[in-house]
Amino acid sequence: MSTTMERPPVRAPGPEGDARTVALRSRARNRVFWTRFGMQAPSLIILAIVLAFPLVYSVILSFQSYSPVDAEADGRFIGLDNYIRMLGDAQFGRAVLVTIAYVVLAVGIETVFGTILGVVLSRLIRSRRIVTSALLLPMIATPLVVGLMFSFGLNPQFGFMTDFLRALGLVGDGGVLDSAGGAFAALVVMDVWEWTPFIALMVLAGLSAAPQAQIQAAELDGCNTFQLYWHVMLPMVRPVLIVAILFRATEAIRQFDQVYILTGGGPGSATTVNDIFQYRVSFAAFDMSYGAALGVATFAVVATLSAILFRYLNRKGADA
């Protein structure tokens, strides 16, 4: 390291001078390192407190038997029991399936609609700003408010959404939330309503940044509009789209507020997504250690998923 860093000396130093220069440089490098470290220390310490500590604590808790409301579950170590219990827990399995179905459906529909919407937006000239601003509105609302809005709209007695769906003959007397399929569909629609604009805006940004030369070349070569979008512009926005999907997928996996407000995870376990299940285990049943094991497992899955997606993204980025 030191040899590569050395520059040609201005005057030929003696052997002791050489050693002194190396020592001085090493000290200087040390100082630079500690200065940089010192500058970043506050954020690193905060990060360690808010991220690393809870994670480590959760991992430790997941090997214990602990419940604050059960004197017998006093925090003794029970090895892998919580993880073994998780593997045999049919209700957890169901929650995982519901979560997967929810994420795939919601994010999938958002991606298709969002891309189409983004393309349409890119073709608007005068009204683009107004339409883009209007599209931001659903995203600005907090998830809890969106949940409450749909909860009122879908009320089986006086909800305007229920009335509308009833007029179309799509739902019966009991309303949308009366059946497993209806309640699940309501959650997917709610997420699509709120987050399709996000994908659309990302696509719009990608299209705006696309190199015009290639697009013009394609036009000169006689591509029709569909071909231009499908074969030229879509591949250009793909990296942006994947980032958007990644964001949405990690958000959707953590879905909680809207489900809690709208269905409470029911009817039955039809809308019990993973986070609702974990909330019930940890804060309704106060089985903290099993809840921690579930949390650790979820973290591992989400981290792996993110790593795969980032890797894919990097490769595609390199290809582009």
Partner 1 sequence: MSHSTRYAPGRRSTAARAALTTGIITVLALAVSGCGGSSSGEVDPDAADGWSQEFAGTELNVLAEATLNSEILAELAPEFTAKTGIEVNIETAPFAQLVQSVTLDFSTAQGDYDVVSIPYDYLGAYAGSGYVEEITPLIEANADRVGEEFDETDIVEGLWETAATWDGKSYGMPSNSAVTMMLYRADLFENPEEQDAFAAEYGYELAPAQTWEQYRDIAEFFTRDAGETAAGEVLSEPMYGVTMAGKRHEASVFEWMNYAGGFGGGVVDADGELVVDSDESVASLEYMKSLGAFAPPGFTSATWDEVTANLQQGIAAQAISWGDTAGAMEDESQSAVVGNIGYGDVPVAAEGDEHHALHGAWTYTISTQAIDKDAAYLFTAWALSAPVQKKIGEMGGVPATRSAFEDPELVAALPSWPQQLASLENALARPRNAEWPQMLDQLALQVSTALVGDSTSQKALDDAQSEIEGILGDKLPLKAF
Which residue's CB is nearer to partner 1, number 132 or number 179?
Answer: 179
Shortest distance in whole angstroms from residue 49 CB to partner 1: 17
Contacts with partner 1, residue ranges (CB under 8 A): 27, 31, 67-72, 91, 155-157, 173-175, 177-180, 183, 263-270, 272, 280, 283-287
Which residue's CB is nearer to partner 1, number 115 or number 263?
Answer: 263
Which residue's CB is nearer to partner 1, number 79 or number 222?
Answer: 79
Shortest distance in whole angstroms from residue 297 CB to partner 1: 20
Which residue's CB is nearer to partner 1, number 193 or number 286?
Answer: 286
Shortest distance in whole angstroms from residue 315 CB to partner 1: 43
Would residue 157 be called left, alpha or beta, if left means φ above 0 and alpha means ψ between -120 and 50 degrees?
alpha
Which residue's CB is nearer to partner 1, number 108 or number 267?
Answer: 267
Shortest distance in whole angstroms from residue 229 CB to partner 1: 42
Shortest distance in whole angstroms from residue 2 CB to partner 1: 20
Q: Are 86 and 293 in contact (CB under 8 A)?
A: yes
Shortest distance in whole angstroms from residue 35 CB to partner 1: 11
Which residue's CB is nearer to partner 1, number 143 or number 265?
Answer: 265
